[in-house]
Amino acid sequence: MNRGDDLDDQLIAAEVVSGQKNLFRLLVNRYEKTVYAMGLSFFHNTEDASDFTQEVFLKVFRSLPCFEGRSRFSTWLYKIAYNTAVNSVNRRKEYQSLAEDKAQDRKTPEKAVLRDAVKEAVQEAVRELPERYRICVDLFFFYGRSNLEIQAITGYPVNTIKSHVFRAKKLLREKLKHFIL
């Protein structure tokens, strides 16, 4: 997402607040897949992820008058999504990394078997990480969020985020060392 898109988001948000409610669909179209993917990583199934996505956009729509533009629109939206997911997870006590949902292409049966074995090992290693590490790793590597955006989303200080990502990588490296050539 470039800076121009962020300005577009802010302009669209302002237009929606001023009465052009139909323009909200533009924001939904732009962020729906990412919010849905976050829902999948938290809830493990498409039905709950769809419900989550709908709930997030309903909250965003209702909260849009409170968006002041001090952060990027996407960061503000992801914070709402993250808080919604965490609150639901705290009720359910489950979280699954987005690493478990990333699709792999399969060119040959041998490569597919190897990819599946590596994927399963990575998924298992990520599952074993402490939740705070998994969340930072997901937001950083799979959602492409910066440390400042992760701070805005999770409330963790930037140095804590860096530490969590560093420690997670160290733990993953150790758990997966037999897969490294």
Q: At the topology level of CATH, where does 103-181 sit?
A: Arc Repressor Mutant, subunit A (1.10.10)
Ranges in the chain annotated CATH 1.10.10.10: 103-181
Contact yes or no for 134/95 (Cβ under 8 A): yes
Helix, strand, coil percent values for the chain (each to nearest 5): 80, 0, 20
pTM assigned to the model: 0.57
Provide the CB-side half-sphere exposure for 45 (13 A, CA): 4
For residue range 94-103, what is the model confidence (pLDDT) as tens digits?
555 555 544 4
Q: Is the pLDDT of residue 1 over 60?
A: no
Ranges in the chain annotated CATH 1.10.1740.10: 1-96
Q: Which of 134, 173, 171 is nearest to 156 (CA)?
A: 134
1.25.40.10, 1.10.1740.10, 3.40.50.300, 3.10.150.10: CATH of 1-96: 1.10.1740.10
Collapsed DSSP state (helix, strand, coil) of residue 129: coil
Contact yes or no for 97/147 (Cβ under 8 A): no
Q: Report the range of poorest mean pLDDT among 60-64, 88-92, 113-117, 172-176.
A: 88-92
